[in-house]
């Protein structure tokens, strides 16, 4: 089980391919706040709801100085299909090796329908302008989560 991040921790650096195969780095966002959220799989009901919620609120979040990056173990081709099918405007990146998911504490044992399984733990980490963890939320629900973040951040 990977360690969960705590407020004040330095957010683990990452460079991952986006839906178009271009590299996206957390370091490129220095000076802006970033909401990095981790989800199990593109094109699934809960993950679609969450991605659409972030897209629907992207202008509001951007106006408050936040970028949004969604991370899953999917390959760029699947991310592109997800983006096109759902008209997503958020940045989606793939982590097939699960190294970044693990570094953020978003991959490990979780309960699924009463059984313990290993997989992606739906999580959201808010990173400040200096690259430090402002908030780290684990085992979040897909539905209603974006509204809660907006409220908690005072956006």
Q: How many CB atoms lie within 10 A of CB 138?
A: 17
| Complete edge-to-edge strand list for the sheet that includes strand 123-127 | 91-94, 66-72, 33-38, 123-127, 133-138
Active site residue 47: yes
> Containing H/E element for 117?
strand 115-120
Active-site choice (11, 47, 80, 126): 47
Comparing CA positions, the residue from 71, 63, 36, 43 lying closest to residue 149 is 36
Nearest residue to 7 via CA among 101, 126, 105: 126
Give the integer Cα–Cα distance in Å for 22 and 10: 24
Residues with a known catalytic role: 47
């Amino acid at each position: 089980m990977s360690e969960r991040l705590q407020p004040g921790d330095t957010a683990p650096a990452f460079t991952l391919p986006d839906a178009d195969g271009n590299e996206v780095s957390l370091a490129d966002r220095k000076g802006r706040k970033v909401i990095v959220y981790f989800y199990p799989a593109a094109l699934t009901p809960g993950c679609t709801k969450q991605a659409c919620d972030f897209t629907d609120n992207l202008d509001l979040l951007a106006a408050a100085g936040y970028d949004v990056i969604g991370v899953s173990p999917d390959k760029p081709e699947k991310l592109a299909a997800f983006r096109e099918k759902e008209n997503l405007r958020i940045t989606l990146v793939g982590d097939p090796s699960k190294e970044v998911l693990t570094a953020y504490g978003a991959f490990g044992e979780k309960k699924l329908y009463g059984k313990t399984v290993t997989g992606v733990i739906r999580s959201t980490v808010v990173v400040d302008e200096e690259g430090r963890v402002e908030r780290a939320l684990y085992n979040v629900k897909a539905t209603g989560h974006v509204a809660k973040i907006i409220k908690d951040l005072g956006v």
